């Protein structure tokens, strides 16, 4: 394969991985801190896409502007979901928690279906297919923007978790919920903030991909499996692991997709996923036993 | 007036009654111990006091105010602090972060730096290992960390659940020395321990729990002299 082409494929893969990272980081955080598998995660991305779509369709607001309206909206929806569903199911048997978030997922999909029908819609922007050229490599502008936002979010989150007192309180809750409560940490508040920030990131991803991909109520389904693979591959609860695994999966998908066709791409990252889990059951950066720490 | 007063406390797990009609009080600056065989309900009692398990009946009054129904962090804010059974340090945070998290509450945070220095003076080994991950400390060191972390909260009443659990005899004495030092610092202490002989030497008064009910109470001397305690807990 010529060098130019190789670079092009790798770049596309990394950019795609950046998109996945924005979803995966939140999902892994929710799991690490709340011990909740958030099956509804990609639905918040779907709502972000619809938010961007409607603000554009009705009032012509560009997604890069409407993101400042949509993300706070999704954040508030996260607050509501946490209060109404998540906090009430925590402490219940694991199946209850699974059904609770699965229920939220189905509810949000059907609410979108009822409100907006199953039509496939797209946002058209002047920059939707714009590219910048870096040497011979062509980079989609909206992909580059989402990539930068994803990495900035992950870096900011990492700094927040490791450099602030509240961030360390979040880690404490993840490592031992009861002990954290005994330190005077308001565990419910930690859950609320973690859940809402994580789903808001999913909403942000939705807005950022609105200029690139079509939106419909079940669009989340095409991402959620990939993102679950990424979260387990990176190590449950590991933010840095999720980013690395997201980039890795993006590159595998892009390379294998080019060489063998897209049908093989999914199979390829599943194989890598299985291979990694055989050698490191805790995932790339996960800690053995961390997932059972409380 | 007592600092802590419990009456008619009942806790159950599903349909298993773990505590029934438990009454107990701890006066300011007293050291009180709760004795009892395995599964008697000692940990359940402390967890109920901290708000980690709900109570079905009874009242908990701390410093003259009913605190049942308050979430755990509000109880800590009032000075009711617990060093839990099994230490429960945060394994993937370092020693310093563990200690600082002990002072998470508003009241404790105001004096964080001063308390931090005092705790490091009391536990010099922790000072040496400030940057080490808590999970990689030895059992004895982890216990010292758990105690230090509890002190960071500036407790008015410090509840200790088996602080010497699983430690070698030499370390048990070391832990007991630290508890004595904490007590000498005028902190009120409620301690659950398997080392009954050493604990009774430290305590002013004590209670004996049997199958979730109070079986006996008295001064430490009375308990140490009672046939029942000598037979069941002192192996005499
Ligand atoms: N989360 C729980 N769910 C169900 N039962 C529990 C739970 N925690 C404790 N129990 C039961 O309650 C009873 C009292 O347990 P507890 O831990 O309070 O005893 P303990 O006196 O602290 O014992 P030990 O000396 O072994 O620490 C036991 O029969 C125990 O099995
Ligand atoms: Mg116990």
**Could you give the ipTM of this predicted complex?**
0.94
Instruction: Measure Cα distances from B197 to A236, B149, B177, B189, B210 in Å.
Output: 46, 26, 14, 17, 18
Q: Set out the domains of chain A in order of their start, with CATH numbers.
A: 3-120+130-279 (1.10.3470)
CA B85 to ligand 1 centroid distance, Å: 11
User: Could you tell me if B89 and B149 are in contact, meaning their C-beta atoms sit under 8 angstroms apart?
Assistant: yes
Are A16 and A254 in contact by the 8 Å Cβ rule? The answer is yes
Provide CB contacts within 8 A for B141, sequence distance 6+. B125, B126, B129
Nearest CA in chain A to B135: A175
> Tokens 């059907």 — which residue?
A110
| B88 close contact with A: CB closer than 8 A | yes
- Say how many Å lie between the CA of residue A269 and the centre of ligand 1: 46
**B79 CA to middle of ligand 2, Å?**
22
d(CA A222, CA A159): 31
In this predicted structure, what is the pLDDT of residue A288? 61
Identify the band that residue A275 occupies on the pLDDT scale cut at 50, 70 and 90.
Answer: confident
| Residue B234: per-residue pLDDT | 72
* Residues ≥6 apart with Cβ < 8 Å to A83: A192
pLDDT band at A278 (very low <50, low <70, confident <90, very high): confident
Q: What is residue A99's DSSP assignment? A: H
**Is the CB of residue A50 less than 8 Å from the CB of residue A116?**
yes
Percent of chain A with pLDDT over 70: 97
| A185 has pLDDT over 70 | yes
Among chain A residues, CA nearest to B148: A183
Q: Please work out, in degrees rounded to the nearest 5, the angle formed at the alpha carbon of residue B235 by the alpha carbons of B231 and B236.
A: 70
Residue A51: per-residue pLDDT: 96
Distance CA A69, CA B111 (A): 40
Find the CB nearest A175 among B82, B91, B105. Answer: B91
pLDDT tens profile A156-168: 999 999 999 999 9
CB contact under 8 A, B92 and A171: yes
Asked if A182 lies within 8 A of B81 by C-beta distance, the reply is yes
Rounded Cα distance, A100 and A103, in Å: 5
Distance separating alpha carbons of residues A73 and A243, to the nearest angstrom: 25
CB of B143 within 8 Å of any CB in chain A? no
Q: Please give the pLDDT value at position A112.
A: 94
Residue whose tokens read 């109070």: B214
Touching check for A170 and chain B: CB below 8 Å?
no
Residue A100 has pLDDT above 70, yes or no: yes
Place of tokens 């797990």: B13
Report the number of secondary-structure helices (H) and strands (E) in chain B: 11, 10
Axis-axis angle for helices A3-34, A141-163 (nearest 10): 40
Indicate which atom in ligand 1 lies nearest the CA of residue B53: 1
Phi, psi angles (nearest 5°) of residue B149 = -65, -40
Q: How far is the CA of A12 from the centre of ligand 1 (A)?
A: 56
When pLDDT is averaged across residues A235-246 and rounded to a whole number, the result is 91
- Which residue matches tokens 């309206």? A69
Whether the CB of B39 sits within 6 Å of ligand 1: yes
- pLDDT digit string, tens, across residues A188-226: 999 999 999 999 999 999 999 999 999 999 999 989 999
The band of A243, judged by pLDDT with boundaries at 50, 70 and 90, is very high
* Ligand found nearest the CA of B52: 1
Q: Three-class SS of residue A128?
A: coil
Alpha-carbon span B174 to B137, nearest angstrom: 16
Q: If residue B24 lies in a helix (H) or strand (E), which one and from where to where?
A: strand B16-27
Whether the per-residue pLDDT at A292 is higher than 70: the answer is no
Among B46, B67, B70, B88, pick the best mutation site for testing chain A contact (most A Cβ within 10 A): B88
Cα(B43) to ligand 1 centroid in Å equals: 7
Structural tokens at position A112: 């979108």
Q: Which chain B positions have a beta carbon within 8 Å of A176's beta carbon?
A: 88, 90
Cβ-defined contact of B90 to A179 (cutoff 8 Å): yes
Ligand 1 lined by B98 (C-beta under 6 Å): no
Is the CB of A178 less than 8 angstroms away from the CB of B84?
yes
- Check pLDDT > 50 for residue A116: yes
Average model confidence (pLDDT) for chain A?
Answer: 91
Arithmetic mean of pLDDT, A4-8: 88
Residue whose entry in the numeric block shows the structure tokens 């308990």 = B223
pLDDT in tens, chain B (236 residues): 799 999 999 999 999 999 999 999 999 999 999 999 889 999 999 999 999 999 999 999 999 999 998 999 999 999 999 999 999 999 999 999 999 999 999 999 999 999 999 999 999 999 999 999 999 999 899 999 999 999 999 999 999 999 988 888 888 888 898 899 999 989 999 999 888 888 999 999 999 999 999 999 999 999 988 888 888 777 66
> pLDDT tens-digit profile of A84-94?
999 999 888 88
Listing DSSP states for A8-63 in one string gives HHHHHHHHHHHHHHHHHHHHHHHHHHH----TTHHHHHHHHHHHHHHHHHHH---H
- In Å, how far from its chain's centre is CA A136? 30
Q: Are A198 and A27 in contact (CB under 8 A)?
A: yes
* B93 contacts A175? CB cut-off 8 A: yes
């Amino acid at each position: 394969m010529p060098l130019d082409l190789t670079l092009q494929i790798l770049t596309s893969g990394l950019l795609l991985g950046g998109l996945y990272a924005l979803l995966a980081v939140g999902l892994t955080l929710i799991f690490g801190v709340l011990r909740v598998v958030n099956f509804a995660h990609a639905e918040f991305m779907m709502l972000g896409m619809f938010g961007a779509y409607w603000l554009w369709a009705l009032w012509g607001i560009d997604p890069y502007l409407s993101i400042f309206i949509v993300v706070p909206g999704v954040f508030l929806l996260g607050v509501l979901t946490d209060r109404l569903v998540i906090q009430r199911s925590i402490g219940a048997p694991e199946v209850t928690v699974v059904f609770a978030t699965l229920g939220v997922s189905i509810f949000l999909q059907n609410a979108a279906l009822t409100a907006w029908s199953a039509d496939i819609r797209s946002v058209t922007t002047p920059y939707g297919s714009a590219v910048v050229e870096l040497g011979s490599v062509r980079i989609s502008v909206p992909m580059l923007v989402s990539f930068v936002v994803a990495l900035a979010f992950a870096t900011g989150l990492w700094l927040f978790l490791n450099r602030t007192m509240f961030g360390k309180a979040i880690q404490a809750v993840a490592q031992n919920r009861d002990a954290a409560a005994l330190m005077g940490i308001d565990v419910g508040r930690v859950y609320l903030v973690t859940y809402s920030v994580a789903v808001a990131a999913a909403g942000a991803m939705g807005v950022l991909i609105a200029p690139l991909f079509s939106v419909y109520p079940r669009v989340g389904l095409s991402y959620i499996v990939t993102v679950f693979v990424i979260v387990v591959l990176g190590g449950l609860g590991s933010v840095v692991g999720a980013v690395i695994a997201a980039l890795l999966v993006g590159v595998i998908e892009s390379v294998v997709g080019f060489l063998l066709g897209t049908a093989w791409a999914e199979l390829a990252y599943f194989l890598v996923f299985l291979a990694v889990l055989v050698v490191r059951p805790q995932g790339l950066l996960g800690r053995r036993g961390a997932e059972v720490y409380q | 007036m007592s600092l802590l007063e419990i009456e008619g406390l009942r806790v159950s797990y599903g349909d298993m009654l773990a505590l029934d009609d438990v009454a107990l009080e701890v006066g300011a600056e007293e050291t009180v111990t709760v004795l009892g065989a395995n599964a008697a309900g000692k940990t359940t009692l402390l967890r109920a006091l901290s708000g980690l398990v709900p109570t079905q009946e009874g009242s908990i009054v701390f410093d003259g105010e009913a605190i049942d129904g308050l979430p755990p962090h509000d109880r800590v804010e009032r000075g009711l602090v617990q060093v839990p059974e099994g230490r429960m340090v945060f394994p993937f945070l370092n020693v310093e972060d563990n200690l600082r998290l002990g002072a998470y509450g508003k009241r404790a945070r105001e004096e964080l730096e001063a308390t931090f220095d005092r705790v490091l003076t009391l536990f010099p080994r922790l000072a040496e290992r400030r940057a080490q991950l808590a999970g990689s400390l030895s059992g004895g060191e982890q216990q010292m960390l758990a105690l230090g972390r509890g002190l960071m909260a500036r407790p008015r009443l410090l509840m200790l659940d088996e602080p010497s659990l699983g430690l070698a005899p030499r370390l048990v004495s070391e832990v007991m020395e630290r508890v004595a030092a904490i007590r000498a610092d005028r902190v009120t202490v409620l301690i659950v321990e398997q080392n009954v002989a050493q604990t009774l030497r430290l305590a002013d008064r004590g209670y004996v729990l049997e199958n979730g009910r109070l079986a006996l109470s008295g001064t430490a001397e009375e308990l140490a002299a009672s046939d029942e305690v000598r037979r069941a807990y002192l192996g005499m």
